[in-house]
Amino acid sequence: MSKSFELEGTLKEVMDTMTFPSGFAKREFVVTEDDARYPQDIKFAVVQNNCALLDSFQKGDRVRVTFSLRGNLYKGRYYTDLQAYKIERLDPDGSSSEPIPQPADTFQPDDLADEDMPF
């Protein structure tokens, strides 16, 4: 099982989607981790349907990227990718601007009292 990691920073660059003859699609982007003493530019990739995740983001947005490490061997060389699968926009204070789902208050437990339970 792959372990997940998170990184917060500023979106520096978003590249165009690359589509290969096999049908594989990949899109790369760079996030500057600016909380460190020496800011680092970190390149991530999203693949296939996740390429669309970046459509609503712009350079300069504060983001939190959730990613996994991916590695492979190709023609005698080892490669490592940081494969992102979740990107959240952050408010300037570092909190997520994504809405937090609220529980629905329309559910009435008494509605099920007369039905047979399947177990």
Residue-level pLDDT at 93: 57
User: Which residues partner with 43 through β-bridges?
Assistant: 30
Structure tokens at 24: 């594989």
- Beta pairing class for 4-14 and 62-74: antiparallel
72-97 pLDDT, tens digit each = 999 999 999 999 999 999 986 555 65
37-78 pLDDT, tens digit each = 889 999 999 999 999 999 999 999 999 999 999 999 999 999
Q: Rounded to whole angstroms, how far apart are CA atoms 11 and 9?
A: 7
Domain count, the chain: 1
Model confidence at 113: pLDDT above 60: no
Residue-level pLDDT at 119: 42
CATH number of the domain bearing residue 18 = 2.40.50.140
Instruction: Note whether 29 and 17 are within 8 A (CB).
Output: no
Query: Residue 36 belongs to what domain range?
Result: 4-92
Assess if residue 18 is contained within a domain: yes
Assess if residue 64 is contained within a domain: yes
Cβ count near 29 (within 10 Å): 22
Assess if residue 114 is contained within a domain: no
22-35 pLDDT, tens digit each = 999 999 999 999 87
Of 14 and 105, more confident: 14
Assess if residue 117 is contained within a domain: no
b/e map 58-91, b = 16+ CB within 10 Å:
eeebbbbbebeeeeeeeeeeeeebbbbeebbebe
Assess if residue 115 is contained within a domain: no
